[in-house]
């Protein structure tokens, strides 16, 4: 490991020692942060997997059912029936912080509409009504999944970045500082010994 290019003086030694203690403290903090992030990540990813399996299964079922239900009605009539949705789902979007990472926080805003479905009953079969109701029911779960998955992805990125920082400190910065401090110390000791010897020689001459 290469040492830093500094003058071997007491001033430098003092500065380097301060830097080393900061680096060691920073390393410890970052490592703790990394541990905690990994802990949260493993909880989140399990939840994510569960949610995704649920959503995928239900969604596939709903979509399949819908496409069968729709096939009974001529395409243009189905298009017309769904062309003007009377409802619009909205979500309250906020940001929360997980270990210093800004992640989305979403709550679905429930809007109850009077007749339940955004089209006339005569236009479409009742099976399709059922699919639409199912899709509406599925939405909160999908939003939940969207939120969890995004959090997982962002957390994964942050863990990776943090790991890099920890490694840089542990394997580059700290050894470098330690080696430089050792070098300066040995230089200073040597100077001191040289001074003592010089003194002794001068004294012997007189």
Partner 1 sequence: MIGKMAIVGDGDSITVFKAAGVAAFPAENEGKAREILRKIAKEYKIIFLTEELARPLADFLKRFDEEPYPVVLSIPSKSGSTGYGEEALKSAMERALGVDILFNN
Binding site for partner 1 (CB under 8 A): 38, 41-42, 45-46, 48-49, 52, 55-56, 59-60, 62-64, 66-67, 70, 78-79, 82, 85, 87-95, 102-104, 106, 109, 111, 117-119, 128, 131-132, 135-136, 139, 142-143, 145-147, 149-150, 152-157, 159-160
Closer CB to partner 1, 2 or 122, in the complex: 122
Q: Which residues contact 127 (CB under 8 A, 6 or more apart)?
A: 65, 68, 69, 72
Closer CB to partner 1, 23 or 155, in the complex: 155
Question: What span, in angstroms and rounded, lies between the C-alpha atoms of 31 and 125?
Answer: 59
CB of 27 to partner 1, least distance (A): 19
Cβ-count burial 119-156 (b if 16+ within 10 Å, e if not): beeeebbeebeebbebbeebeeebebbebbeebbeebe
Question: What span, in angstroms and rounded, lies between the C-alpha atoms of 62 and 54?
Answer: 12
CB of 74 to partner 1, least distance (A): 14
Residue 200: burial class (beta carbons within 10 Å; 0-12, 13-18, 19+):
exposed
User: What six digits make up the tokens of 71?
Assistant: 């096939």
User: What six digits make up the tokens of 177?
Assistant: 């500082």
CB of 198 to partner 1, least distance (A): 58
Closer CB to partner 1, 34 or 188, in the complex: 34
Closer CB to partner 1, 26 or 140, in the complex: 140
CB of 99 to partner 1, least distance (A): 12
Closer CB to partner 1, 6 or 146, in the complex: 146
Whether residue 125 contacts residue 77, with contact meaning beta carbons closer than 8 Å, is answered with no
CB of 138 to partner 1, least distance (A): 8
């Amino acid at each position: 490991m290469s040492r830093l290019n500094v003058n071997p003086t007491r001033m430098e030694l003092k500065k380097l020692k301060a830097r080393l203690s900061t680096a060691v403290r920073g390393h410890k903090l970052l490592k703790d942060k990394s541990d905690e992030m990994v802990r949260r990540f493993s909880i989140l990813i399990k939840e994510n997997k569960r949610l995704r399996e649920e959503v995928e299964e239900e969604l596939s079922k709903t979509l399949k059912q819908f496409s069968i239900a729709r096939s009974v009605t001529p395409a243009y009539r189905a298009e017309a029936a769904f062309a003007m949705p009377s409802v619009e789902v909205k979500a309250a979007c906020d940001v929360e912080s997980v270990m210093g990472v800004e992640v989305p926080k979403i709550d679905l805003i429930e809007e109850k509409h009077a007749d339940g479905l955004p089209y006339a009953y005569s236009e479409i079969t009742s099976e399709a009504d059922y699919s639409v109701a199912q899709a509406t029911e599925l939405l909160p779960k999908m939003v939940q999944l969207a939120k969890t998955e995004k959090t997982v992805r962002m957390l994964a990125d942050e863990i990776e970045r943090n790991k890099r920082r920890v490694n840089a400190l542990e394997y580059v910065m700290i050894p470098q500082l330690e080696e430089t401090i050792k070098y300066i110390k040995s230089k200073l000791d040597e100077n001191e010994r040289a001074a003592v010897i010089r003194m002794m020689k001068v004294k012997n001459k007189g």
